[in-house]
Amino acid sequence: MADMSDFEYARDRIMMGIERRKLSMSDKDRLLTAIHESGHAIVCYFTPGAKKLYKATIVARGSSLGATYMVPDESDMLSTTKEKVLANIDVAMGGHVAEKLFVGHEKVTTGCSSDLRGATNLAYEAVRRYGMFGEDAGYLSVDVKDVSQEHNALIDEQVKKILDESFARVKELLLRKEQEIRNLSKNLFWYDYLDHTEMEKVIRGEELPKDKVRIWDI
């Protein structure tokens, strides 16, 4: 969990120049969660091939402090494309990259672990099962366990390349969309929950005509 200095770093990047009262520990967690979920949402919204953004929330449920939801693509039940696979990996990477950029490399939370695991699993499936990557190595598709160490090493190398390139793409996107990240993080903090239409308005810089959950501005 982030300490006060960690939180202030994130607050200064996202809430720059806005006066606020002292926040409780739970509100610090809420803001950090808002930054994380905004990363997912912004990547989803601006990435070609990504699923349609549905809603985002920072209301805790079970072990999850928040969530970003997308509309399932029914066509993916039969087959998918390389573009969609890369988009899914980028969206999964969005929360982790947002924390690194706007909270700090040394202040990333454990909430990123499941996202990174999901991105890694998608990359392995695309390489091992579908043969979508590995042009320089003659492609690497193999849906069996008993393969050589050399072949597995090539697969691992290709997966690392996919994840490194995804991180770079997402970082570049979020830096370009820093104002949108700020707007979305603030509004998720204020309202706890935003649907697709509300997120579109916030991304465009519009105000939302509803009462804030928080009783003060930050």
Active site residues: 37
Distance in angstroms (rounded) separating the CA atoms of residues 106 and 95: 15
Distance in angstroms (rounded) separating the CA atoms of residues 122 and 85: 7
- What would the two tokens of residue 170 be? 């997402």
Q: Residue ranges of the alpha helices (H) in the chain?
A: 4-14, 25-46, 82-102, 113-124, 149-176, 178-191, 196-203
With beta carbons less than 8 A apart as the criterion, state whether 216 and 21 touch.
Answer: yes
